Each structure stands twice: as structure tokens, then as C-alpha cells.
Amino acid sequence: MEVRRGTKYARAPIRRAKQRPSGIMARRKPDPASHLAGELAVKLTAFVVRAFLCALGASPALAQSVPLVVQDAWIRGAPGADVAAAYLSVHNVTATPVTISSVSSPTAAHVMIHETSVENGQSRMRPHERLVVPAGQTVKLQPGGVHGMLQGLKRPLTVGEQVPLVLVLAGGSTVQVTATVRPLNAE
Ligand SMILES: [Cu+2]
């Protein structure tokens, strides 16, 4: 379908007169018009494929294959700091445990999974290797407990903005999350 459209475009009379005077050599030269049309066809094809994939993404069949449902994702904005804690509630909708092996964000150099604990009256944070969400259960990352630690923020965060987070699952699949930045004193 696209190829035919491209051919029509290439046959535009003025272009053809300019680019193809006569003779075999002239014909062998790449015709800029048909090259453009070819590019257009490729772009159109890519667009159609993307539109098709989007339609698939909206279908319930594919939605079911996402094992985790994330809610209440937010980040505590700390003005002037290049780190920020991220909290969220993650529900495993499947019948098998799901492991979150790492977290990333385009807004931070890296994101660590941390756990806050109180030792001798002092609050400490330590790395928490991976996070297992048991089958059918909800795990909450919340202040005072497990959280995602954005480190090396690439720009200051403003209250109310949406920050993308990516949960990387054991096995390599990912879950996209959008976290809202809340003020320093949010709970
Ligand atoms: Cu932390």
C-alpha cells in the first residue's frame, strides 16, 4: 500500500523531467524523489506498527501479563539535595512471587533499594538487595521502611512534577511507574 503511494510520488512529472533526462546511466542514478518517497513509506510503516502495538497495549489480554500493579508512587523532594527517597505500593496480581531486582530512573544517576532501620535510637539506611513481592500480596515502600533512593539527581525536583521510575524484575521485564514529587514534610 505504502509502496504504491511512493511510486505515485516518484512519478511527479516535473521531478522526473529534471532527474531523468534519458539513457541507461541516467536511469541508474538514484532519484531523490523516489528515495524520499521510500523514506516516507518506511516512516509510515513504522507509524502503523507503533499504532498497532499501542492498540495491543490497551487490550486487557496484555494488561494481565503485567505482574505488578503500582499505586501511590511518590518522591520526597529535598530542595538542594542530589538524593531523594521514593515510596510506592506494589501489588502482585499473579500466583507466583515477583522479585524486583533493581530500580532505575532517567532523572537519577542510579536508584538503590534502601531499608531504614532504627539502631540505638539512630535512624540508618542500608542497601536492600532485592525486593520480593509474595503472590497476591502488597508490599509498601514507605517512610521509615524500604524505599527507593534516587542518587545523583540530574536536575532539581519540583513539588508536583511527575518523575518516571522503572522497576526491573528478575528475568528482565520492566514495570513503568510515574511518581509525584511531594514536599519535604509529606508523610
Ligand atoms: Cu535511602
Summarised one tens digit per residue, pLDDT across range 140-176 is 999 999 999 999 999 999 999 999 999 999 999 999 9
Spacing, Cα 109 to ligand 1 middle (Å): 15
Same-domain check for residues 55 and 77? no
Same-domain check for residues 123 and 175? yes
* Residue of 67, 56, 72, 71 whose CA lies nearest to 169: 67
This prediction's pTM: 0.65
CA–CA gap between residue 69 and residue 66 (Å, rounded)? 8
Specify if 167 maps to a domain.
yes
Same-domain check for residues 15 and 48? yes
CA–CA gap between residue 154 and residue 134 (Å, rounded)? 33
Quote the pLDDT of residue 15: 46
The whole-number average pLDDT for the span 18-38 is 49
Spacing, Cα 3 to ligand 1 middle (Å): 55
Spacing, Cα 175 to ligand 1 middle (Å): 21
Which structural domain range is residue 27 located in? Answer: 2-60
Q: What digits encode the pLDDT tens for the residues 103-134?
A: 999 999 999 999 999 989 999 999 998 999 99
Domain boundary among 60, 85, 109: 60
Same-domain check for residues 143 and 88? yes
Domain boundary among 44, 60, 76: 60
Is 47 a residue whose pLDDT tops 90? no
Same-domain check for residues 39 and 74? no
Spacing, Cα 38 to ligand 1 middle (Å): 52
Same-domain check for residues 19 and 101? no
CA–CA gap between residue 101 and residue 85 (Å, rounded)? 17
